[in-house]
Amino acid sequence: MSIVGRDIPHDSAAGHVTGESLYVDDISPARNELFVDFYPSPVSHGRILSVDLAAAAAVPGVVGLYTASDLHNNRFGPIIGDELLLAEETVVFMGQPIVVIAAETKAAAKLARRLVSVDIEELPPILTIDEAIAREEFIGDLLVIKRGDVEAGLAAAAHVLEGTFVSGGQDHFYLESQAAIAFPDELGAIRIHSSTQNPSEVQHVIAHLLGLKLNQVVCETKRMGGAFGGKECQATHPAAMASLVAQKTGRPARIVFNKDDDMQVTGKRHPFQNRYKVGFSEQGEITALEVQMFSDGGAYADLSTAVMGRAMTHVDNAYYIPHARIAGRVCRTHTPPNTAFRGFGGPQGVATIESIIEDIGVVLNIDPLEVRLRNCYGNGERNSTPYGQVVHHNNLPVLFDELTRRSDYRTRREEIAKFNDSSLTHLKGISLTAVKFGISFNTRFLNQANALVNIYLDGTIQVSTGATEMGQGVNTKIRQLVAGAFGLEAEEVLVMITSTEKNNNTSATAASSGADLNGSAAIDACNRLRERLSGVAAEMLADGDNSDSEKIVFEDGFVFDESNDARRLKFQEVVWEAYLRRVSLGEHGFYATPGIDWDWSTGTGNPFRYFTQGCAASEVLIDRFTGEVKVVRADVLMDIGKPINPGIDRGQMTGAFIQGVGWVTTESLVYSERGELLSHSPTTYKIPNIHDVPEVFNVDYLDIENPVNIAGSKATGEPPLLLAISVWTAIKHAISFTSGGVPVQLMLPATNEEIVMKLAKYAG
Ligand code: LUZ
Ligand code: MOS
């Protein structure tokens, strides 16, 4: 049986548990190494009048203090290039770095940070989406996707519902904070080890800011202790600070953000405010949808316009909408630039339509599941998205049907109505929602990857790709794919450290596409190696006769002719013979996702290679007096193709769902009126723990081959997070028992406080 599709353990599972796995801050200190810290802006918006570094410079052990003028370039950014590494005349968010500090010890750096004196004239900050809209402070262009005639669709509808969906941000809360260590190399070069999803971008940004050529900067990434999108772009800042110090001092320099700094100065998931008008029939069939989406981009563009694009292409979710106008605008505020976060705008789009559907159910007094089924994308008809991509191989109808049955949804919904009638202390709610997540970067050129596969003389293999391991198991999947290509056990293959030295111009490990892209590139290399080895093996097996390399198979560590498997060569023997014959045992592979295109000038295209789909049914129990929520049961069912490693995908489904539960319930970012993040540690920012895992939690997948992706698999990193929206809609369902037939306007996250306030409001 092939190693592909088998449940082997994560290649670092043991190391994660024993502590042997190395993270950036575990790398033994180099002789001469410096600690790097920075002075953060104490205000959200202001004009810098003067910077006085004398007192900080006098601290024993302080080696250097650097400001914007010490950089070759200060301006960068992944899409728009509007970002400054170090503030110049103005500061635009609280925590914005102004001075980089290099010191012999952490204590000296800390003291210097206290003694830096920056005189700032405080200016009024824009801290909310509403203020930004009022002042017309936007980032990028107005984005529009439209189909059909929305006005006519609304006019013809039996019902029109208007409302606003509001969601808050979310901190990535990776266990390993942002971290990097920079080593000066000969001839001005820099070698950097960074906790980044995007080594090539770290390379690019450092070269640009320090005035180096790209070939003078090498970025390596062994692994991250979680990332979740937070290290797709924002790992560059600490890496650049450490590199600046390495360049200026000629000494190794390490920076590791502490948790409070990390939470206060890095961007989050984008808050959204989506204003909508939806038209629907008496039976709940959606005829038209108009949505104006606003996101809080923070002070700089970062990836905000791409995040908005994904939000806009996901607001349809599982549902066919004949007439649609979807507009998106990124607002500029004086908060840290918001960034990629697992789902990348998708959750904010999907939550909007799922909320709308919940409300349609309330207005029509029917089960929202009936509304979902009535509007679900079809097969062969009613299956084109508002942006024109057809949903092929649509498994949503099967998923809805199967999960409704497996979760016993209908019976439980009836029981919940009875329970709510009789309980004076508690309310229950249940909801079954779906996800259809588009797989591919919505920026076309990012959908490429390369790989290096080297076979050694003992028959073992090293593979290197641009994929970065953040705990998600991409290395294990690539290991299985490569081992499978040669009929070997996983142990014969090692996935090596990610480095820009081996794989050039790589994309971030992001958009759930790490294994798809890099696994495909690795297999491309393996295919050519196998062809060459087949030629050698055919000659070895032919004993002077004509050889047929087409018939050579690699299985269980052996190489043989499928028409005559009596004679089997050990893989290692063939490798050795190839070496003696001077046949190359190394190969470079490449993959570019075919068939994708996108055009913002029309808001149309086929941005996604395929869709990962799923459904979840969640039941909540709410304490009427405290607003406390418990998810008592959740059932998750997904189409994830043929998993390369079912256990790892199950882990992704489980973890993403729970991370989503945090987003929709407890993870509330609280700011002061000056824009200071007050909830910047685990004591004030509540992520889910083991007690928040549903008592009954069924996670499963349909075993359906995906014809358009590597080994028939589908991406699983982000899509399951969006299924936690069923917990939030279940809360809406519970509260709707008290709202007297009126749709429940609920903030996301639905914190205990939010729930209590809504219950109080409806109680009068
Ligand atoms: N990053 C990106 C992403 O640059 N483009 C995307 O479409 C995307 N999607 C999800 C996560 N990261
Ligand atoms: Mo991402 S949100 O870095 O896939």
Centre of ligand 1 to C-alpha 302, Å, is 12
Nearest CA to ligand 1 atom 6: 441
Cβ-contact 486, 415 below 8 angstroms? no
Ligand nearest to the CA of 446: 1
Is the shortest distance between the CB of 306 and ligand 1 below 6 Å? yes
**Which pLDDT band holds residue 78 (cuts at 50, 70, 90)?**
very high
* DSSP per residue, 321-372: -SEEEEEEEEEE-SSPPP---TTTTHHHHHHHHHHHHHHHHHHHTS-HHHHH
Q: How far is CA 227 from CA 223, 341, 393, 508, in A?
A: 10, 9, 31, 11
- Residue-level pLDDT at 743: 97
Closest CA to 439 of 652, 617, 612: 612
Centre of ligand 2 to C-alpha 185, Å, is 31
Tokens standing for residue 68 = 């914007």
- Residue-level pLDDT at 695: 95
- Residue-level pLDDT at 546: 63
- My answer on whether omega of the bond before 749 falls inside 30° of 0, hence cis, is yes
Ligand nearest to the CA of 196: 2
Residue 133 burial (CB < 10 Å; 0-12/13-18/19+)? Answer: middle
Tokens standing for residue 559 = 């190489």
What does pLDDT average to over the chain?
97
Closest CA to 292 of 80, 434, 391, 146: 146
Overall residue count recorded for the chain in this entry = 764
For the cut 90, the answer to whether the pLDDT of residue 1 exceeds it is no
- Residue-level pLDDT at 549: 85
Question: Which atom of ligand 2 is nearest the CA belonging to 512?
Answer: 4
CA 357 to chain centre: 26
Tokens standing for residue 507 = 């994309």
Q: How far is CA 210 from CA 85, 100, 188, 239, 244, in A?
A: 11, 14, 10, 12, 7
Ligand 2 pocket by C-beta < 6 Å: which residues?
197, 229, 232, 340-342, 344, 508, 510-511, 718
Tokens standing for residue 83 = 């970002």
Q: Which residues of 40-63 are buried (b: 16+ CB within 10 A; e: fewer)?
A: bbbbbbbebeebebeebeebebbb
Closest CA to 327 of 295, 283, 284, 304: 295
Centre of ligand 2 to C-alpha 340, Å, is 5
For the cut 90, the answer to whether the pLDDT of residue 3 exceeds it is yes
Question: Which atom of ligand 1 is nearest the CA belonging to 309?
Answer: 7
Q: How far is CA 280 from CA 153, 363, 377, 432, 667, in A?
A: 9, 11, 16, 20, 33
Centre of ligand 1 to C-alpha 444, Å, is 10
Q: How far is CA 417 from CA 270, 617, 725, 743, 760, in A?
A: 35, 16, 21, 17, 20
| pLDDT top residue among 548 and 83 | 83
Is the shortest distance between the CB of 66 and ligand 1 below 6 Å? no
Closest CA to 328 of 317, 314, 318: 314
CA dihedral 629, 630, 634, 640 (to 10 degrees): 70
- Residue-level pLDDT at 615: 98
Give the phi and the psi of residue 357 in degrees, each rounded to 5: -65, -40
Residues 6 or more apart whose CB falls under 8 angstroms from that of 82 comprise: 75, 139, 300, 301
Separation CA 200–CA 220 (nearest Å): 9
Pairing of strands 286-298, 62-66: unpaired
**H runs (alpha helix) in 250-321:** 259-265, 304-312
Centre of ligand 1 to C-alpha 512, Å, is 8
Cβ-contact 24, 181 below 8 angstroms? yes
Centre of ligand 2 to C-alpha 266, Å, is 15
Site to probe by mutation for ligand 2, drawn from 342, 439, 612 as the one with most ligand atoms within 8 Å of Cβ, is 342
For range 392-415, the mean pLDDT: 98
Question: pLDDT tens, 190-208?
Answer: 999 999 999 999 999 999 9
- Residue-level pLDDT at 564: 87
CA dihedral 671, 675, 681, 684 (to 10 degrees): -20
DSSP 70: G
Please give the radius of gyration of the chain, using alpha carbons only, rounded to the nearest integer.
27
Question: Which atom of ligand 2 is nearest the CA belonging to 227?
Answer: 3
Question: pLDDT tens, 518-576?
Answer: 999 999 999 999 999 999 999 999 875 666 888 999 999 999 999 988 999 999 999 99
Centre of ligand 1 to C-alpha 414, Å, is 40
Nearest CA to ligand 1 atom 3: 511
Centre of ligand 1 to C-alpha 404, Å, is 31
User: Which of the following is catalytic: 176, 220, 469, 718?
Assistant: 718
Give the phi and the psi of residue 712 in degrees, each rounded to 5: 75, 15
Separation CA 745–CA 737 (nearest Å): 13
Residue 403 burial (CB < 10 Å; 0-12/13-18/19+)? Answer: buried
Tokens standing for residue 425 = 């202390």
Nearest CA to ligand 1 atom 9: 511
What counts of helices (H) and strands (E) characterise the chain?
A: 19, 31
- Residue-level pLDDT at 544: 59
718 is a catalytic site residue = yes
Nearest CA to ligand 1 atom 12: 511
Centre of ligand 1 to C-alpha 93, Å, is 24
Is the shortest distance between the CB of 303 and ligand 1 below 6 Å? yes
Separation CA 673–CA 723 (nearest Å): 33
Site to probe by mutation for ligand 1, drawn from 80, 269, 303, 338 as the one with most ligand atoms within 8 Å of Cβ, is 303
Pairing of strands 34-40, 253-256: parallel
Separation CA 139–CA 686 (nearest Å): 31
Is the shortest distance between the CB of 507 and ligand 1 below 6 Å? no
Closest CA to 127 of 727, 673, 538, 756: 673
- Residue-level pLDDT at 545: 62
Site to probe by mutation for ligand 1, drawn from 310, 338, 598 as the one with most ligand atoms within 8 Å of Cβ, is 310
For range 348-370, the mean pLDDT: 98
For range 15-43, the mean pLDDT: 96
Ligand nearest to the CA of 341: 2
Q: How far is CA 254 from CA 18, 74, 197, 451, in A?
A: 24, 20, 18, 29
Question: Which atom of ligand 1 is nearest the CA belonging to 342?
Answer: 11
Nearest CA to ligand 1 atom 11: 511
Nearest CA to ligand 2 atom 3: 229
Nearest CA to ligand 1 atom 8: 511
Neighbours of 154 (CB within 10 A): 19
Is the shortest distance between the CB of 310 and ligand 1 below 6 Å? yes
Question: pLDDT tens, 117-176?
Answer: 999 999 999 999 999 999 999 999 999 999 999 999 999 999 999 999 999 999 999 999
